[in-house]
Structure 1
Amino acid sequence: MEKWWKNAVVYQIYPASFQDSNGDGIGDLNGIISRLDYIKKLGVDIIWLNPIYKSPNVDNGYDVSDYQDIQPIFGDLKIFNNLLKQAHQHKIKVVMDLVVNHSSNQQKWFVESRKSKNNPYHDYYIWKDGDPKKLPNNWGSYFSGPAWTYDKEIQQYYMHLFAKEQPELNWKNPQMRKDVYRLMRWWFDKGIDGFRMDSISLLDKPDNYPDAPNPANATYADAQPIVADGKRLGNYLKEMNKEVLSKYNVVSIGEMIGSNVKDALEYTGRNNHELDMIFQFEHVTLTPNKDKRLGKWNDIPVNLVDLKNSLSKWQNGLNKQGWNSLYWNNHDQPRAVSRFGNDSPEYRELSAKMLATTLHMLKGTPYIYQGEELGMTNNHFKTMADYRDLETLNAYDELVNKEKIVSKEKMMSYFANMSRDNARTPMQWNNSKNAGFTTGTPWIEVNENKAQINAAAQINDPNSVFSYYQKLIQLRHKSSLIVYGDYLELDPNDDKVFAFKRTYKKQELLVIINFTAEELTRDYNQKNADSLVIGNYSDDEITLIRPYEAKVYLFN
């Protein structure tokens, strides 16, 4: 079935780092409005905004204190309405983040919840009786430390899988769910075009909150295997679809931490009436540290065979019934060209185009994270004073200072590879002092390579990374083969080349991608192709595959 979002390309905006309009060093809604022409020039169809709701900003807006108001540093509802109007005039749809697995501890529901066990809002959150010196279970927070905090006023623990200022909402409470659906309808009635739903796979916690397996003997266990994809989650999503989503022509995107292909088919299956597509995390979590206590923190290159296996599993698994969200990086992931490509001056542009080709030739909806279309890189901060991300700061405090599991130097190497702040440095618009992001002091330092990598140098250069993204987006808009074609991987065990086919109505695309700095030869019968559709070199050597080369052939 052809849905408007299937041939769309999404551009993700992290508002704090996109464009500052008033000199306070923080990006804002007026800044986004001022850059809509740029976004239109790129050619995307949708902008997805990370949270812009009122928030104490403990976790960069993912701790919402008022779901129906705008964070003052970003603007107000009047400015938002103007942004929505201007975007629609540019024929750009607007998707917002929905954060309803948890709220801020300053949200009015939680403020009321703490007043009394008999308060009608008390059951909007997950509270548990217990000894103040003995945690209810061994679950750890994603941001280090326990997943429970004792509240002396009410003499109970409350659950938080993220920061202690982000208490978990209780989805077992039907009245709480009704209030969530009410606020969703409020935004849709304003005219927004969809929601990306944060941590939505975590809504259903198991009854009685049993201990999680803890083979690493860490202080706190990884709760994800127990809390993700609970038995009631599908019912909650069906109810949300019935009460809200089905009543509007919108897109629904679920962030599914820990979900597998079978789960994704449940959530995005055509006849299940739940979500349109999901974000899964398998391909961006392929290199956990061998020391399980360190979790995601590592500086290990991703193995290509593992990467291909993961991407192919999801391409094949969701081919006929579900739908993939295609992404390399976002606000929670390091920069793609640094993680999966080569960010050296010699190969940065080639590998940025190579990664773009890979992603946009797969089946699903591509997401471009701000600056990805320029080939922006990781920041490689030198000191802890440069970092702002709560997850990074907490990990350093726990793993270096308290538990002394890893050295300061090694942890800095891990952060340079994996910290979320890699994606959160300001957008590089030009080569001025703050890259054109702000006239003030930026809330986080601009990457030092702004003179070499910026939008002003690329938008009119036909050979730039930006121009290459334009071409890929135009191809997707024109080609049903790229949007709807079936997927077939070639040579899964090739640890240097990723080759695959897309087939649709007697047409075939052959995609050949070199993930190395080596010159290689491969024969996939490309010499008999009818045409070269796109490639990141100016000419074509047919069977020769040059460093980080990407080329796409058409067979009619």
Structure 2
Amino acid sequence: MRSEWWKSAVIYQIYPKSFQDSNGDGIGDLQGIRQRLPYLQNLGVDALWLSPVYQSPQIDNGYDISDYYQIDPMFGTSEDMNALIADTHARGMKIIMDFVANHTSDQYSWFQESRKSLDNPYSDFYIWRDPRPDGSAPNNWGSSFGGSAWTYEPARQQYYLHYYAKEQPDLNWENPRVRDAIYEVMKYWKSRGVDGWRLDVITSISKDWCFPDNPRPLTKENQHNGPRMHEFIHDLNQHVLTLYDMMSVGEAPASNAADAPLLVDPTREELDMVFTFQHMHIDRKPGDLNGRWALQKPDFIELKRIMADWQIQLSGRGWNALYFENHDRARVISRWGNDSKYRYECATAFATILHGMQGTPYVYQGEEIGMTNPQFALADYEDVEMIGNYHQFVEQQKTISSADFLAAVHKVGRDNARTPMQWDGSHNAGFSDATPWFKLNPNYTVLNVARDANAEKSVAHYYQQLIRLRHDESILRDGSFELLLPQDKALFAYKRHDDEKTWLVLANLSEKWQNLQGLLADADYRVILSNYQRETIGQQVAPYESFILELS
């Protein structure tokens, strides 16, 4: 019988490069994480998800792996990793590694051999196609990082496929030797003590080998959920996940609530959870040529519909992964809320909504103190996706102005989440004695872990209370879900029910007072948690007010 520890857990994501530098080179590292384990234990989280720490040229900040078996020297040594795993376990927490099975770095030895010829042992480890008669790419597929998903290799006189940067060639999962090589890597890390996996874009590992053109050039419509996706994921489950009792959460860009059970229903033996992108697109103009950079006001009615749909569709048929922030997502309070006047209220309101649902909540570093997006100049950003998309949409296609693109970057750019962790108000925010690898958010002198801990309105203290509720109250794990006020543009409200009690979870996601529309009329209740620290709730709620009530 597999352990399901993750159903009662809260998981904390660490972006190692930006978490804590221990050796004064300006880059976060494994020893730095070890130094901060007491903080993480005190917060109450159950597991640490580490973004990739494998050897890498860092074209995509470690998601371009050049050796699955080696720790990158910038993060430390193999011994440092052993010590981190041991120390984390000693404090009652688990370690989840980030694994990139869709692609590697072009510096990986496999690809260096594969690119040499059509008849070497690694020639079909990657996806190669002949040019069209005119010498152009095999089809019009686009890369998520801008431009074509194909790059020409003169030595083979063929193109190779890369869904991301040209330095990230996609692996050929049709080749059983590739699958076996991946499984051996995962078994190796299990032997080192790793407890689970976050599987990067795992639903992209199967390709449509007919390679049909997309309806629009340089887009990605035919590049998700390929025909053998479920077969490959089930195979991975049988060879590694179930066999070695390892937790899994897969990044599934094109998943929706209706088809998610095919990935997470335990009877199918694929994944434990998936990260959907659906709810993170509520501020994106549908179908716009400029993709994620074409923004609109967040549609909270749509947010409620999507999140409720996932709660209902997966009830009894799978398990939800709950998140608003990660290394690819901007700070939610800057993106969808008010990160200045109502920063505490806004941060705790979004947290209340997320942690009150059924599923496993994921906390991204800094989210627990309400870190915000910086407002950098375009030249200060480093993200390969942003740079590639700027070239495609602003310079080449001219479908968006530089000013509008920068405004979108300030809202949704991935680098917003990658500024160094703000530990205190000292030099470089307590992150490093040296100049950090990436600019600090200038507000670190007033927004940091030390200051938040002593604040009357402490975001982290509120998170600690939420995490305790997740551990202590079975209704949050096992209770049913009922969405309330589905058409209200500001109030996100739902009930959780079990055999013994009913809880009401509510947040006002606006800067205006809102009428509760009779939700509590003549109701007896007990306040479980309130971000305004109220003992009684009136018929109106304040800006970004949130609470959890037990109804009698």
Q: Same fold (TM over 0.5)?
A: yes
**Identical aligned pairs, as a percentage?**
44
User: Does 2:85 match 1:114?
Assistant: no
CA distance in 1, matches of 2:259, 2:305: 18
1:319 counterpart residue number: 315
User: Per the alignment, do residues 291 and 31 of structure 1 end up closer, same or farther by CA in structure 2, a change over 3 Å counting?
Assistant: same
Q: Are the aligned partners of 1:496 and 1:515 in contact in 2 as well (CA < 8 Å)?
A: yes
Aligned to 2:370: 375
Deviates more, 1:40-49 or 1:291-300: 291-300
Shift of 1:399: 2.0
CA contact (8 A) 1:527 1:543 kept: no
| Kept in 1: contact 2:282–2:300 (CA 8 A) | no
Which residue is 1:288 aligned to? 284
- Post-superposition shift, 1:288? 2.4
Which of the residues 403, 413, 425 maps onto 1:409? Answer: 403
5 Å matches for 1:276-425?
276-289=272-285, 292-344=288-340, 346-381=341-376, 383-425=377-419
Could you say what secondary structure the match of 2:460 adopts? Answer: helix
Equivalent-residue separation in structure 2 for 1:290 and 1:271 (angstroms): 35
SS in 2 for 1:425: coil
Partner of 1:178: 180
Distance 1:435 1:471 in 2: 26
Shift of 1:299: 4.3
Q: Contact 1:363–1:484 (CA<8 Å) still a contact in 2?
A: yes
Contact kept in structure 2, 1:507 and 1:555, CA below 8 Å: yes
* Cα distance change, pair 2–504 in 1 and its aligned pair in 2 (3 A): farther
Q: Which amino acid aligns with 1:96?
A: M
Q: Which residue of 2 aligns with 1:524?
A: 519
- Matching residue's letter, 2:482: L
Deviation at 1:226, TM superposition (A): 1.6
- Give the secondary structure class of the aligned counterpart of 1:263: coil
Contact in 2 for aligned 1:139/1:146 (Cα 8 Å):
yes
Q: 2:170 is matched with which residue?
A: 168
Contact 2:240 2:246 in 1 (8 A): no
For the Cα contact (< 8 Å) 2:152–2:158, is it kept in 1? yes
Cα distance in structure 2, aligned partners of 1:104 and 1:351: 39
Are the counterparts in 2 of residues 526 and 553 from structure 1 also a CA contact under 8 Å?
no
Q: TM-score, normalised by structure 1?
A: 0.96
Q: For the residues of structure 2 that align with 1:529 and 1:37, how far apart are their CA atoms?
A: 40
Partner residue, 2:136: 134
Q: Which amino acid aligns with 2:293?
A: W
> 2:550 matched to which residue of 1?
554
State which of 214, 222, 237 in structure 1 corresponds to 2:219.
222
Q: Give the C-alpha shift of residue 317 in structure 1.
A: 1.0
Separation in 2 of the partners of 1:545 and 1:258? Answer: 36
Matched, 1:246 2:242: yes
Compared with structure 1, are the counterparts of its residues 527 and 472 closer, same or farther at alpha carbon in structure 2 (3 Å cutoff)? farther
Code of the residue aligned with 2:480 in structure 1: it is D
Amino acid paired to 1:456: A
* Cα deviation code 1:421-442 (max 9, x no counterpart): 0000010000113111111111
Residue 462 (structure 1) shift: 5.9
Amino acid of the residue matched to residue 310 of structure 1? I
* Contact in 2 for aligned 1:298/1:417 (Cα 8 Å): no
Aligned partners of 1:301 and 1:339 also within 8 Å = no
Which residue of 253, 259, 273 corresponds with 1:257?
253
3-state SS of paired residue (2:421):
coil
> For 1:466 and 1:451, how far apart are their aligned partners in 2?
17
Write the letter of the residue equivalent to 1:542. Answer: G
Structure 1 residues 60-108: Cα deviation after superposition (integer angstroms, max 9, x where no partner): 0000000000111001111000000010111110000010100011111
* Counterpart check, 1:452 vs 2:452: no
Q: Is the 8 A contact 1:335 1:376 kept in 2?
A: yes
Whole-angstrom distance in 2 between the partners of 1:298 and 1:456:
37
Code of the residue aligned with 1:480 in structure 2: it is: S
Question: Measured at CA, do residues 22 and 157 of structure 1 come closer, stay the same or move farther in structure 2, by a change above 3 Å?
Answer: same
Q: Is the 8 A contact 1:327 1:359 kept in 2?
A: yes
Which range moved further: 109-118 or 51-60?
109-118
What is the match of residue 54 of structure 2? 53
Structure 1 segment 447-486 matched on structure 2, within 5 A: 447-461=441-455, 463-486=457-480
Superposed CA deviations along residues 332-365 of structure 1, whole A, max 9, x for unmatched, are 0110111122112x20110101011010001110
- SS in structure 1 opposite 2:203? helix
Structure 1 residue 452: Cα displacement: 1.7
The answer to whether the Cα contact below 8 Å between 2:525 and 2:551 also exists between their aligned partners in 1 is yes
In structure 2, the partner of 1:188 is 190
Gaps spanning 5+ residues in structure 1: where?
215-219
The answer to whether 1:511 aligns with 2:511 is no
Query: Deviation at 1:496?
Result: 1.2
Question: Is the 8 Å Cα contact of residues 329 and 413 (structure 2) preserved in structure 1?
Answer: yes
Alignment partner, residue 73 of structure 1 = 74
- Partner amino acid for 1:421? D
One-letter identity of the residue aligned with 1:409: A
- What's the offset of the Cα at 1:289? 3.6
Cα offset, 1:410, TM superposition: 1.4
Deviates more, 1:122-131 or 1:169-178: 122-131
Please give the alpha-carbon distance, in whole angstroms, between the structure 1 residues aligned to 2:292 and 2:455: 38
Deviations, residues 405-434 of structure 1 (Å, cap 9, x unaligned) = 222221111110111000000100001131
**Residue 291 of structure 1, CA deviation:** 7.0
CA distance in 1, matches of 2:160, 2:404: 34
User: Structure 2, unaligned stretches of length 5 or more?
Assistant: none
Aligned-partner residue type, residue 424 of structure 2: N
**Paired amino acid for 1:418:** V
Partner of 2:210: 208
Asked if the contact 1:143–1:390 (Cα under 8 Å) also holds between the matched residues in 2, the reply is: yes
Contact 1:213 1:221 in 2 (8 A): no
Separation of aligned partners in 1, 2:382 and 2:310: 33
1:403 shift after superposition: 2.6
Cα offset, 1:133, TM superposition: 3.0
Find the counterpart in structure 2 of residue 495 from structure 1. Answer: 489
Secondary structure of the structure 2 residue equivalent to 1:98: strand
Instruction: Quote the offset at 1:287 in angstroms.
Output: 2.6
* Match runs of 1:87-106 below 5 Å: 87-106=88-107
Instruction: Kindly provide the amino acid, as one letter, of the partner of residue 187 in structure 1.
Output: W
Contact 1:315 1:324 in 2 (8 A): yes
1:231 aligns with 2:233: no
Cα distance in 2 for partners of 1:503, 1:328 equals: 24
Which residue number in structure 2 is paired with residue 217 of structure 1?
A: none
Match of 2:18 in 1: 17
Counterpart pick for 2:427 among 429, 433, 437: 433
